[in-house]
Amino acid sequence: MSEVVYSSTVTAVGELVPEFAEQGVLVWFGENAPIELHEFSIIHRPELALRAPEVGDIIKINETTFNVLAVGSVSSENLLNLGHLDLKANGLNEPEMPGDVNVEAVPLPTVKIGDRFTVISQP
């Protein structure tokens, strides 16, 4: 049975986020992130943090869904401790960096304040 294991709400969107999204990358940070990171980051507030994404899970940004293809070795620790996630829509089955979470190579949505970020486990 599918289960929501992580959910958060976007509280700020840096001015460079659209440029990163065009390159297939969304950088997420929790609200305690240093101000220097805000320019290129999506800042969010977690409401539920049971665990981070794993291969085979679904990530939803509002109603747009992505299949998780690969997760880096520190991606779980980063998300749960810092709210940090490098979401890469590159279609790769192996992470390029330890903090990466890879999904299909598809266009990323425009993210706005109030949007929802959700991780859904798959049986």
Residue 38 is a catalytic residue: no
What would the DSSP string read from start to end of 13-47?
E-TTHHHHHHTTEEEEEETTS-GGGGGG-EEEEEE
Which of these is catalytic: 13, 44, 84, 108?
44
Q: Which residue has the tokens 């990323």?
A: 108
**How far is 36 from 48, CA to CA, in rounded Å?**
26
Q: Which residues are catalytic?
A: 44
